[in-house]
């Protein structure tokens, strides 16, 4: 891995613009639990049945109990060396955009500043009518559930993208811009099968970027990667970040 990490670090140190796409594999190293409960169900229901606009309209209290369960398990998670290494790389490069499919907020907590959250933030609550849109990390939800908008009284909703919803237009536009302009594009801890996020690496490759995959497993994006590091983010990224810092001093 040393030779590949050095190649990637040298490319990043030369780059005027770089970007990264991260997925669940990065947060898994922080002990972030999977979307599903034991046996793939939560209280006998598939999570996809709860993470949807229809489910929220039918029973907002049930949906919020599910998200309260998820938030409670996320509350103990902290950024790992992979998260912190990405923040270090950002600090060393003139223009760096981090695009993530994760909703746990750990990239921002690690110090990353230019973060595009394609699927939202589980710590955000917002009013469907647009009255309230705020982040209250790790604060207990008010009881009884669901929390309600202080202005209109409607149930607030989690600030995440649900099944059947489009990605936020502004986030997708910024992510695509980053992919088009990146000279180096890191793909970290993602299977590369969820669209439209997976297409970002292909956009970057089509515009001449050096696409670097960091994943212990072969993925759907391996074929387009110029460099593939078969390692976990928490080991590969710190090695790259250290080399980038040395090259840019």
Catalytic residue set: 119
For residue 117, the cross-strand partners are: 100
Number of residues written out for the chain: 249
Measuring CA to CA, which residue among 156, 148, 109 is closest to residue 128? Answer: 156
Pairing status of strand 184-188 against strand 210-214: parallel
- Residue identified by tokens 């209250």 is 136
Helices 2-14, 81-92: crossing angle, 10 deg rounding? 40
Structure tokens at 40: 């793939």
Nearest CA among 183, 199, 188 for reference residue 20: 188
Strand partners, 7: none
Torsion of CA 163, 124, 134, 96, to 10 degrees: -90
């Amino acid at each position: 891995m040393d030779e590949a990490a050095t190649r990637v670090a040298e490319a990043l140190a030369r780059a005027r613009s770089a970007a990264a796409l991260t997925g669940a594999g990065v947060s898994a190293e922080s002990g972030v639990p999977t979307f599903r409960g034991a046996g793939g169900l939560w209280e006998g229901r598939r999570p996809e049945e709860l993470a949807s606009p229809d489910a929220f309209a039918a029973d907002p209290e049930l949906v919020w109990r599910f998200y309260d369960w998820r938030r409670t398990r996320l509350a103990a998670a902290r950024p790992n060396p992979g998260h912190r290494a990405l923040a270090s790389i950002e600090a060393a490069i003139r223009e760096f955009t981090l695009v993530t499919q994760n909703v746990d907020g750990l990239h921002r907590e690690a110090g990353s500043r230019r973060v595009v959250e394609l699927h939202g933030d589980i710590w955000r609550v917002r009013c469907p009518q647009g009255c309230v849109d705020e982040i209250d990390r790790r604060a207990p939800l008010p009881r009884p559930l669901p929390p309600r908008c202080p202005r209109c009284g409607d149930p607030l909703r989690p600030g995440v993208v649900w099944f059947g919803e489009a990605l936020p237009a502004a986030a997708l536009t910024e992510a695509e811009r980053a992919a088009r302009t990146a000279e180096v594009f890191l793909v970290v801890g993602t299977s590369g099968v969820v669209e439209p996020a997976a297409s970002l690496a292909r956009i970057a490759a089509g515009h001449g970027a050096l696409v670097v995959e960091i994943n212990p497993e072969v993925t759907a994006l391996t074929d387009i990667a110029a460099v593939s590091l078969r390692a976990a983010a928490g080991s590969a990224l710190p090695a790259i970040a250290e080399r980038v810092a040395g090259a840019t001093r």
